[in-house]
Amino acid sequence: MSKKIPVATMNRYPHYLRVLKNMRSKGVTRLMSADIAVAMELEATTVRRDFSYLGHLGRQGYGYNVDELIACFDKELGDGVGEKVVLIGMGNMGRALSKYNTFEYRVGKIVCAFDSDINKVNENAKLPVYHIDDIKEKFPHGVKIAILAIPGEKVQQVADILVNLGVNAFINFSDGEIVTKRGVIVQHIDLVSMIQDVIYKFKRKQQNKMDKK
């Protein structure tokens, strides 16, 4: 694209894609910006501005063709359907994340997992689980993305090993920080902060309702 897309806008694109695919699964073929705004909890003007970076997608009075929007977002984001992902950690969080492949809408596929508990190792399972000590031998060739669901005190050591194995993107569910070389992407999922943010937004919304009475 000739226009540089703002970071905040780019961060919303995957959520637009999820909403649009959900709408399509319900038989929706056309949407107005106001419809998308309601689903995304945004202003319609924000939706139109976000979409404007992708070209002339909608038509006045008609709105947006859902299939065309999805194709456009897939092209911009890279559909990623065949992207292989490795899961590190099969504790409570890891076991929940291991169900990811069963989601109706997903991007990428978890191809195997690693854990330090010998009792969780099952190399013949539908999702093979290997011992973490065998990671250099068993790590699948060409995988560039890893999900980390391990204790924070172990995350840096494991991340260093994975970077040496060719991983250049992490989704980190642990409470530990990762310091790595330039160019490696780290997406930290902080559930506490996310819950705190939701509570703040909820209280603010409730206060706004009271102020309007």
pLDDT in tens, 123-173: 999 999 999 999 999 999 999 999 999 999 999 999 999 999 999 999 999
The pTM assigned to this predicted structure is 0.73
- 7-75 has which fold? Arc Repressor Mutant, subunit A (1.10.10)
Q: Please give the structure tokens belonging to residue 183.
A: 């160019």
The residue behind tokens 């292989």 is 84
- 84-192 has which fold? Rossmann fold (3.40.50)
Residue 66's pLDDT is 93
Phi and psi (nearest 5°) for 85? -130, 145
Residues in the chain: 213
pLDDT in tens, 176-199: 999 998 899 999 998 888 888 889
HSE-CB at 68 with a 13 A cutoff on CA atoms is 12
Domain ranges, ordered by start, for the chain:
7-75, 84-192
